[in-house]
Amino acid sequence: MEFFSKADLIGTLPLLVVFGCSLLLLLLDALFKDAKKLVFSVGIIGMLTAIGCSLYTFPLSATAFSDMVLVGGYASFFNILFLTIGIIVFLLSYSYLEKQHYHLKEFYTLIVISISGMMLMASSADLIIIFLGIEIMSVCFYVLAGYKRIKVEGNEAALKYFLLGAFATGFLLYGIALIYGTMGTTNLIRISQNFDAFSHPLYLAGWGLLLIGFSFKIAAVPFHMWAPDVYEGSLTTVTALMSTGGKAAAFSSFILAFSIPLSMHNEKLMMVIAILSAASMLIGNVFGLAQKNIKRMLAYSSIAHAGYMLVGLASGTKLGMDGIIFYLISYSLTNLGAFGIISIFEKENGGNLSYEDYAGLGSRKPILAALLSLCMFSLVGIPPFAGFIGKYYLFASAVQSNLTWLAIIGVMTSLVSTYYYLRIVVYMYFRESQQSELIFVPSLALASVVLVSIGIFIFGIFPSLILNVIQNLL
Amino acid sequence: MQFTFLNIGILTWLTFLPLVGMLCIFFLPQKKSQLAKWITLGCTTIQLLLATIIYIKFDRTLAGVNSIEGMQFKEIFPWISINSTEWFGKISIQYFLGIDGLSVPMILLTAIISFIAVLASWKIEKSVKGYFSLFLLLNTGMFGVFVALDFFLFFIFWELMLLPMYFLIGVWGGERREYAAVKFFLYTLFGSVLILLVMLALYFSVTVTDAITGEKMHTFNMLAMMNPQNFENNSLLFGLHTYWRYIAFIALFIGFAIKLPLFPFHTWLPDAHVEAPTAISVILAGILLKMGGYGLVRIALPIFPDAAIHYVYPIAFLGFINIVYGALCAMAQKDFKKLIAYSSVSHMGIVVLGIAALNTQGMVGAMLQMFNHGTITAMLFVIVGVLYDRTHTRQISEFGGLMNKMPKYSALVVIAFFASLGLPGLSGFISEAFSFLGAFQTHQWLTIASTSGIVLTAAYMLWTFQRVYLGTLPEKWNSLQDISKRELLMLVPLAIIIIFLGIYPTPMLELMNTSVNALVEMVKVK
Amino acid sequence: MITLHHFLFVSIILFGLGVYAVLTRRNAVMVLMGIELILNAANLNFVAFSRYGGLKLDGQMFALFVIILAAAEAAVALAIILNIYQRFNTINVDDVDTLKE
């Protein structure tokens, strides 16, 4: 009996490359003493290769390893997104870690492993794979969150993240167990073909638990408590990875799993998701107003943005799912840009993170300030930036599904959010600077930030470039 | 009617030329940053030429408004096009530009005022490159709003103006610039959000058949939205005089009223005006306010004629409040610039009253009033700016007797002031008379009450004139210079336009007459 | 005769106890144990469903996966808790609260 075929191996090539790369990095780490540059460059090369493989597998549309893993299309698309995020986080981290005096090279290995977990999540055709992917990613994140080992806040972030994250995993797993029991399989394709057990209470309870688990991972209200502390306590580039890659991965498998119960037009489920979404938008944006620390503000903003994306899921239509995918791209680019600039600007011991520190940045570092404003405007959702098209799509899907009230809440709360996003801009341009220290801008980090900003622009003006691709994914 | 250069239509040139200029400014070396002024001046001069070409070539017999054949200098390309999907059908957002009698006067106005505003910004010292790039970006947004016929595109341009304006007030403004900029931003964004929601609702209600594939699809085409037959049965905005249509109209109306600005949404305007630098005040009063009125006649009225008729009385009433309230506030001001700002509120009330007349005279009056008010207030703000540049104060009480010290300047002031208060023979009179005449036929008592606004305007204008320009000159201003050539270059053309249109308004009336008639017919049928 | 329902009943009790421990215990190690209880409740479910539902070995396999991952999680968790103890001299989760709300 043949366990797998050549086609399986070719189809999962991107995954295999990243797995191989992470093993290689572990090895290099162990063999060479001072291999920071080596690990860094091998990691980048590995991820670039994986992007190439993803492009190659993109036209395929199949499953591999007896329907366990999705191949091509959706999976490849998300793989490219995760790998791009990974590369940018690499570029940002290199100088940032130097500045913060963290010389451990496992950092890069952990990032690559967490990205392999994300890739598994986006290519899962089976609930086991979703679980596996989430765990691989989360365990790496727990460690990365506690990377500021010598700092109080790093430890605190790691502990909070771990306890709540593992708790959520427990719910997720219990939900999977219930679905397995009622359906006799964990395979998503087979679950979607079996209509008999759909009203079984255990089955519904299973989806409910699954929903709680995912809500934790995307930081939706009321399961959001970890996000502000973890975002603030972690290294800034780690926060960038968690808020972009982590969220995108959680959503990618969220969509894969929940397209099944949503395709039944389950009104109650839609309503529950809609309420989660409305609560996230309201709480995230209202609490965002009160923050003084920029990383914490962006944490609440990320809660709110989870709410916006849930709007698309609540609508249950393909338009909504496409909207989420586009939004994930624009949100990831924007947050990478924002956190990238914050990491460039951050002082050695975690200073320079309050609004006041950004005063007068417009005249001190015009390019950085302009790029940060661009990111903020994209987060608000003002044309011609990508954030606008994303929000537009999501709210359109809500209107189409008769959830107009949700669209109105979304639009109104984004109006509220304008205030705290603009505050940074106000400080940067309208206030005089208190500091005169020179800010060193590392070229790698600057280049990556410029790159994502160009992306925000291009996807804002010519969204059809990417929308036409997203169209055919699901 | 077509007119292209390098295979690119004239409207695209008009709209995107500033972006080209902006790129040039980006690549200017820091040492030559003064060149940015010349680049900007060049752009606006070319735009002025293009606007003149449009003015000459424009076919005055075509109505436009809701017929695609009547639109001139059309440019239609697919912009965001996403193939058919099972759930949604084809998504197509067009790059659809075109102009008719409603937009041409606004384009002329924008071209003239932009040119003046560049001259008014000549003295800017603080980061010249940044200022002029934002200025050009703003310029693109303004022209875009007036030429876009696709609602989505219109909305993008509408929002595009927000960012440069925010920075122009916030960075180059006066003492309370931060407060003014944020207030402006939030108010306008709130309006845009309402417009966005209505746009979404319209999009899902309107379907057209694709000419090539025969496929049914939703559209953002404004002209398609104006045809009631395109509304899908049972869609949200289907039918006439329905609950949802009323709500949509109110939302759209508030969205535009904030920009106009209509009482009670006007409070951002005085703050923004007082804090903004002179050139930006000129643009704000001269062009941005007109966008609110333009939005009403271009979008709100033709798409929701039923709701417009239903709410015509409240709208006229708001117009009346604006006229009287604005005039009363203006009377109470001590700050010269704030006074002019409130006079704008009052004069824009006349526009609303004229539109609410829903007949040809009223509407023509309103459109003409938009043009005339644009030129007159621009002149008034330049006048304040000239004074402020020399004295660094705007308190009316600190001035007096400037007439003798600055004779050339004061002569121009006389023209602007008298045009503003509606003296026959100057342009303001014609448009106000038309508006009131039209409004009188529909809302007799309101119009009679509104005319008290004219008296009030005359009172505060003359009183201000007396306080600032007559009487004795305070000693500290003994060394004041009369106006320079650059300032003359700003004021004289505006004065000429004001006098010319006051004596012979036909060229302007001719431009808009056919379109306004068509619009009035459209609204009447319902 | 022990039926599927017995297993499910035990599992749901374990799950409930686990959630209770996580929510009420303030000692980080106890919270960790609560989480382990939840995971094992799920494991019990998997195995029981697999055995009684006439399904193949999927459930058992899943349980094995979970055991491995639980071990990995526990290793990371204990490392974090150890670090916490060094910094804070306590492993009471309520005392670990320096990040401002």
Range of lowest pLDDT (A301-310, A345-354, A456-465):
A345-354
Q: Quote the longest CA-to-CA distance of chain C.
A: 56
Euclidean distance between CA atoms B98 and B153, whole angstroms: 12
Say what the ipTM of the complex is: 0.94
Question: A468–B83: do the CB atoms touch at under 8 Å?
Answer: yes
CB neighbour list of residue A218: distance below 8 Å, 6 or more residues apart: A247, A250, A251, A254, A306, A309, A310
**Which chain A positions have a beta carbon within 8 Å of C67's beta carbon?**
none
Encode pLDDT of A241-268 as tens digits: 999 999 999 999 999 998 877 777 678 8
Q: What integer pLDDT is reported at residue A301 of this predicted model? A: 94
C39/A contact by beta carbon, under 8 A: yes
Residue C37 lies in a domain: yes
Q: How close A170 gets to chain C, by Cα (Å)?
A: 5
**What SS3 state is found at B215?**
coil
Question: pLDDT above 90 covers what percent of chain A?
Answer: 49
A151/B contact by beta carbon, under 8 A: no
Average pLDDT estimate for B106-120: 91
Beta bridge mates, B93: B80
Chains C and B touch (3+ CB pairs under 8 A): no
For A463, which residue in chain B has the nearest alpha carbon? B80
CATH number at residue C54: 1.10.287.3510
Please tell me which of the candidates C42, C53, C73 has its beta carbon nearest to residue A166. Answer: C73
Residue C98 lies in a domain: no
Residue C39 lies in a domain: yes
Residue C93 lies in a domain: no
Q: How close B502 gets to chain A, by Cα (Å)?
A: 40
Average pLDDT estimate for C58-77: 90
Neighbours, chain C (3 or more CB pairs < 8 A): A
Euclidean distance between CA atoms A355 and A361, whole angstroms: 11
Q: What integer pLDDT is reported at residue A168 of this predicted model? A: 92
**What SS3 state is found at B332?**
helix
Q: Could you identify the residue written with the tokens 């004779």?
A: B407
Q: What integer pLDDT is reported at residue A37 of this predicted model? A: 87
Confidence of residue B396 (pLDDT cuts 50, 70, 90): confident
Average pLDDT estimate for B332-354: 90
Question: A429–B170: do the CB atoms touch at under 8 Å?
Answer: yes
A4/B contact by beta carbon, under 8 A: no
B456: left (phi over 0), alpha (psi -120 to 50) or beta: alpha
* Residue C83 exposed, middle or buried by CB count within 10 Å (0-12, 13-18, 19+): middle
Q: What integer pLDDT is reported at residue A305 of this predicted model? A: 95
DSSP code string of A176-188:
HHHHHHHHS--BH
Question: C80–A132: do the CB atoms touch at under 8 Å?
Answer: no
Beta strand A69-71 pairing with A62-64: antiparallel
Average pLDDT estimate for C35-63: 88
**Which chain B positions have a beta carbon within 8 Å of A467's beta carbon?**
80, 82, 91
For B171, which residue in chain A has the nearest alpha carbon? A430
Encode pLDDT of A326-351 as tens digits: 999 999 999 999 999 999 988 887 77
**Which chain A positions have a beta carbon within 8 Å of C88's beta carbon?**
152, 155
Question: A399–B156: do the CB atoms touch at under 8 Å?
Answer: no
Look up residue B253 and give its two tokens. 């109306």
Choose, out of A148, A180, A200, A230, the residue to mutate when testing the contact with C (most C CBs < 10 Å): A180
Residue C32 lies in a domain: yes
Please tell me which of the candidates A404, A412, A464 has its beta carbon nearest to residue B80. Answer: A464
**Which chain A positions have a beta carbon within 8 Å of C49's beta carbon?**
177, 180-181
Q: What integer pLDDT is reported at residue A259 of this predicted model? A: 83
Parent domain of C75: 4-88
Euclidean distance between CA atoms A89 and A83, whole angstroms: 10
Average pLDDT estimate for B147-151: 90
Residues 144-163 of A with CB under 8 A from C: 146, 149, 152-153, 155-160, 162-163
Question: A426–B83: do the CB atoms touch at under 8 Å?
Answer: no
Average pLDDT estimate for A142-156: 86
For A288, which residue in chain C has the nearest alpha carbon? C101
A466/B contact by beta carbon, under 8 A: no
Residue C99 lies in a domain: no
> Which of B147, B119, B108, B115 lies closest to B500 in space, CA to CA?
B108
Choose, out of A131, A152, A156, the residue to mutate when testing the contact with C (most C CBs < 10 Å): A156
Helical residues (DSSP H) of B77-229, grouped into ranges: 104-120, 128-147, 151-160, 162-172, 177-205, 222-225
Encode pLDDT of B52-71 as tens digits: 988 888 888 888 777 777 78
Question: C28–A139: do the CB atoms touch at under 8 Å?
Answer: no
Tell me the helix, strand and coil percentages in chain C, rounded to 5: 75, 0, 20
For C96, which residue in chain A has the nearest alpha carbon? A156
Q: Could you identify the residue written with the tokens 């900007």?
A: B40
Are A88 and A333 in contact by the 8 Å Cβ rule? The answer is: no
Encode pLDDT of B219-266 as tens digits: 888 888 888 788 877 777 777 788 888 888 999 999 999 988 888 888
pLDDT(A35) > 70: yes
> Which of B180, B138, B185, B112 lies closest to B379 in space, CA to CA?
B112
**Which chain A positions have a beta carbon within 8 Å of B127's beta carbon?**
363
Q: How close B308 gets to chain A, by Cα (Å)?
A: 23
C47/A contact by beta carbon, under 8 A: no
Question: A162–C69: do the CB atoms touch at under 8 Å?
Answer: no
Q: What integer pLDDT is reported at residue A166 of this predicted model? A: 92
Choose, out of B30, B82, B87, the residue to mutate when testing the contact with A (most A CBs < 10 Å): B87
Question: C38–A139: do the CB atoms touch at under 8 Å?
Answer: no
In the predicted model, what is the mean pLDDT of chain C?
Answer: 88
pLDDT(A56) > 60: yes
A457/B contact by beta carbon, under 8 A: no
Residue C95 lies in a domain: no
Q: What integer pLDDT is reported at residue B467 of this predicted model? A: 86
Euclidean distance between CA atoms A37 and A206, whole angstroms: 46
Q: How close C48 gets to chain A, by Cα (Å)?
A: 9
Angstrom distances, CA of residue A53 to CA of A45, A66, A373, B258, C11: 12, 21, 35, 53, 43
> Which of A406, A390, A407, A396 lies closest to A460 in space, CA to CA?
A390
For C20, which residue in chain A has the nearest alpha carbon? A167
Average pLDDT estimate for B59-84: 78
pLDDT(B86) > 60: no
- List chain B domain ranges: 311-526
pLDDT(B319) > 80: yes
Question: B85–A471: do the CB atoms touch at under 8 Å?
Answer: yes
Question: C58–A180: do the CB atoms touch at under 8 Å?
Answer: yes
Residues of B with CB under 8 A from a CB of A: 79-83, 85-88, 91, 127, 130, 155-156, 159-160, 162-163, 167, 170-171, 177-178, 181-182, 185-186, 189-190, 193, 196-197, 200-201, 203-204
Q: What integer pLDDT is reported at residue A363 of this predicted model? A: 82
DSSP code string of B392-425:
S--BGGG---HHHH-HHHHHHHHHHHHHHTT-TT
Q: What integer pLDDT is reported at residue A245 of this predicted model? A: 94
For A382, which residue in chain B has the nearest alpha carbon? B159
pLDDT(A223) > 80: yes
* Residue B400 exposed, middle or buried by CB count within 10 Å (0-12, 13-18, 19+): middle
Euclidean distance between CA atoms B50 and B5, whole angstroms: 11
**For A44, what's the count of Cα atoms within 13 Å in the CB-facing half-sphere?**
14
Q: What integer pLDDT is reported at residue B174 of this predicted model? A: 80
Please tell me which of the candidates A156, A158, A296 has its beta carbon nearest to residue C98. Answer: A156
Q: How close B160 gets to chain A, by Cα (Å)?
A: 7
Residue C60 lies in a domain: yes
Structural domains of chain C, count: 1
Euclidean distance between CA atoms C92 and C73, whole angstroms: 19
Q: What integer pLDDT is reported at residue B84 of this predicted model? A: 56
Choose, out of B16, B22, B80, the residue to mutate when testing the contact with A (most A CBs < 10 Å): B80
> Which of A63, A10, A21, A12 lies closest to A43 in space, CA to CA?
A21
Question: A318–B160: do the CB atoms touch at under 8 Å?
Answer: no
Neighbours, chain B (3 or more CB pairs < 8 A): A
Question: A411–B190: do the CB atoms touch at under 8 Å?
Answer: no
Look up residue B345 and give its two tokens. 């509120």
Please tell me which of the candidates A132, A143, A174 has its beta carbon nearest to residue C38. Answer: A174
Q: What integer pLDDT is reported at residue A195 of this predicted model? A: 61
Encode pLDDT of A197-222 as tens digits: 567 788 888 889 999 999 999 999 88
Question: B170–A384: do the CB atoms touch at under 8 Å?
Answer: no
